[in-house]
Structure 1
Amino acid sequence: MTPVEHEIDTLEAFDAHLARGLHLDRCVVQSVDLTERAELLKRTSVDGAIFLGCILRPGLDESLRSRGALVFPRLPELPFNPYRPRLYEAPDLFDAVITGQDYTASHDALIYAWHRAQGNQPSLGATLAMSLHDHSMSESLDDWSRTRPDAMTIGIMGGHAAARGTGTFREAATLAGELTRGGRLVMTGGGPGAMEAANLGAYLAGQPEALDDAIAVLAAAADFRSDLTAWARAMLEVRRRWEPSGESAGIPTWFYGHEPPNGFATVIAKYFSNAIREDTLLQRCRGGIVYLQGAAGTVQEIFQAATGNYYSPEGAPTTPMVLVGKDYWTGRLPAWPLLEALGRDRAMGTRLHLVDHVAEAAGVLLA
């Protein structure tokens, strides 16, 4: 397939591109309202161009196809844009809560309700829409990450059960703040609990003195399961009081729809497919992965990353893995003995660490 020459995802970028006397050959135009540019499109070369979910005047799609373009139409009756040209931010997903409504009216909740309504065997149209959306998320994440090397990206994994205000929550936030100040980009699963705490710590990395007060605001609505609207409003109150002084990414999923995304990540790449989401998250964290206390999801992430390290080609770098909590990971959920056994006589063995405190984890990864 002929390489893409240029990507355009706003009307302003479209106008600027053509104002330079350029054509649209081999360009990708994504989710742009082009109804007022019909005459311009009729006299512009579009050979090999791809139009993804653009709004066009009736009949113009046939003209574009006849001149060598591919036109992917908008899909009707969806609560989301499958060709979304950029990552989400908190206001995109918590829009209704921002305007004083209940969380159930939010963009995030409406998409989850639609997802659940598809059942275990969604229609071909629904499957296609979700696949297109997830592809757009990956493309946008690639664009956003281009100046943020994977080797400097550190994943912080942990369970959603860490309630706001608990010691585990505070430790995750402290760890993320230290890593961010150390020049690393923190990436999480984007949900509540330890994930929210890590994104919060990065959000306030430049003002660590505010962390205690911010956690106190959040602790007033500590558990998302008891009142999700109050939980979201507390998050928005922290965002109102403190501007971000560090960046991070969250990679949540509608597969776990009972878990809302957290609003402290700079960007949110939310996926329908949990399998793609997990792979995306772990593949990007080449600077290391920290595992705080968690349950089945965190254990899955441990061994998914371990499998990649185990089968890494000879001489290829492996990802450092740091498990926090010796008693937890050797007793309550004894993942460490098996992980250590897998690493024996393998290159990954020197990159496995079991520590008791987040300060030790930060020391390992910032060394």
Structure 2
Amino acid sequence: MRCSVVRELDSLDAFLKQKGQLHCAVVQGLDFTNVEVDWERLDFDGVVFLGCHFPKEVTADFLINKGAVIFPAFPNLPYNPYRNRLYAREELMEGWTEAEDRSVDKRIYDHFVKKGRSKADILESLAQRLHDHAIDDGVRDLLGGRIETGGEKKVVGIMGGHSTARDDVYYKKVVRLARDLSRAGYFIASGGGPGTMEAANLGAWLIDVSDEELEEVFQILARAPHFESPGYMQAARKVLERHPKGGTSLAIPTWFYGHEPSNLFSKHIAKYFSNSIREDGLLAIATHGVVFAPGSAGTTQEIFMDATQNHYVTFDEVSPMIFLGEKRYTEDTMLFPCLEQLAQGRDYAAYIHCTDEVDSAVSFVRTHPPFKVSK
């Protein structure tokens, strides 16, 4: 049977609501071992099961003979290639203590390194690609408004140096910027690591925090300014203890840079094995703009990747590019004048802006919504 519409069923409630009519459904990562289901009466025409667990009496032969397609589970992996949701910090940090890092995050990273990183064997590579595809699906669900209330997200990406210290002036500016953009109804996405990335997710988390309270947070974090500083994670946890409820945002880190800890201030973590998919995807989802704080080679690469998407209108529209750091981008690197020259005669020429002021950056995002380009 050919399917014009494929339904995703990634929860037991969604599965049971189908009342046995599973044709053209993809069932993702569900455990049926303790669920009462009359398997004989189900309509299996065109159904695909991704990494599901079944009662002993429901065999693979039974499902296949009924017309189902089964993607089986992979053995001996510290991660689930078919996961049906994004990560949360509690899941990734499970097992971490101040004395020793035995977290889920660390175990997956150690496995990734042991398997050769990007040179893994064919089965490990396949499992990693399936995992990253599942993360892609989770990001689409989140940004499409299917995970949280409020409808489709207006995503602004924030990029910058991973080594930016917590007591750096641009770390503090990014925190305020992310807080103010979140208050204005935008959804912050970052690379999910330390430095500027942490500042972005922290600002979104502190959406309801005053300027005075913000200064107290900065004082706590300044005790461990760099991700290699003693007490780095403990300082972040102290902030969370002081502000246990916060705003929502997305972190998109990668195990490719697993020596850098994922920051603790995002509600949703889309962690990838493939860094190239992660970087390109992060820029692609930031349809309401990208802010570039000072950074080094990685940030420079992201600037030109984003410029390429705007230059060739890869996604049928252009969106703002804001450079937060006038000296960095107009004098030290000349990247902003270079981009201005590149954009001459193009639709995105009016969508690039360089400033040192948080208010100016927020205003530019608000006054430059995504612009649809007719090809």
Structure 1 partner of 2:40: 42
Structure 2 partner of 1:108: 105
CA contact (8 A) 1:48 1:69 kept: yes
**Distance across 2 between alignment mates of 1:265 and 1:60:** 40
Structure 2 partner of 1:306: 307
Structure 2 partner of 1:122: 120
Give 1:280-319 correspondences, 5 Å limit: 280-312=281-313, 316-319=316-319
Q: Does 1:158 align with 2:160?
A: yes
Report the Cα offset of residue 43 of structure 1. Answer: 3.0
**Distance across 1 between alignment mates of 2:241 and 2:203:** 16
**Distance across 2 between alignment mates of 1:103 and 1:52:** 34
* 1:255 counterpart SS class: helix
1:2-61 CA deviation, whole Å, 9 max, x = no partner? 2455332233443x325xx34222222222221234862233221111111111234611
**Distance across 2 between alignment mates of 1:248 and 1:333:** 30
The root-mean-square deviation of aligned C-alpha atoms, in Å, is 2.0
Give 1:237-316 correspondences, 5 Å limit: 237-312=238-313, 316=316
**Distance across 1 between alignment mates of 2:61 and 2:342:** 58
Give 1:58-137 correspondences, 5 Å limit: 58=56, 60-97=59-96, 100=97, 102=99, 104-119=101-116, 120-137=118-135
Give 1:198-213 correspondences, 5 Å limit: 198-209=200-211, 210-213=213-216
Distance 1:103 1:337, change over 3 A: farther
CA contact (8 A) 1:42 1:63 kept: no
**Distance across 1 between alignment mates of 2:11 and 2:259:** 33
CA contact (8 A) 2:20 2:41 kept: no
Which structure shows the higher helix fraction?
1
From 227, 240, 253, the equivalent of 1:224 is: 227
Moved more, 202-211 or 123-132: 202-211
Distance 1:167 1:124, change over 3 A: same
Q: How many residues align?
A: 358
Distance 1:174 1:310, change over 3 A: same
From 44, 49, 52, the equivalent of 2:50 is: 52
* 2:255 counterpart SS class: coil
1:87-106 CA deviation, whole Å, 9 max, x = no partner? 11110111123xx3556301
Q: Which amino acid aligns with 1:132?
A: L
Distance 1:67 1:155, change over 3 A: same
Distance 1:101 1:33, change over 3 A: farther
* 1:354 counterpart SS class: strand
Report the Cα offset of residue 234 of structure 1. Answer: 2.1
Q: Which amino acid aligns with 1:344?
A: Q
**Distance across 1 between alignment mates of 2:229 and 2:223:** 12
Stretches of structure 1 lacking an aligned partner (at least 5 in a row)? none
Q: Which amino acid aligns with 1:133?
A: H
1:108-140 CA deviation, whole Å, 9 max, x = no partner? 111111111122421011101110000000101
Q: Which amino acid aligns with 2:220?
A: V
CA contact (8 A) 2:290 2:322 kept: yes
CA contact (8 A) 1:253 1:274 kept: yes
Identity rate, percent:
38
Q: Which amino acid aligns with 1:107?
A: V
**Distance across 1 between alignment mates of 2:163 and 2:267:** 22
Report the Cα offset of residue 313 of structure 1. Answer: 7.3
* 2:317 counterpart SS class: coil
**Distance across 1 between alignment mates of 2:342 and 2:362:** 24
CA contact (8 A) 1:199 1:264 kept: yes
CA contact (8 A) 1:103 1:232 kept: no
* 2:256 counterpart SS class: coil
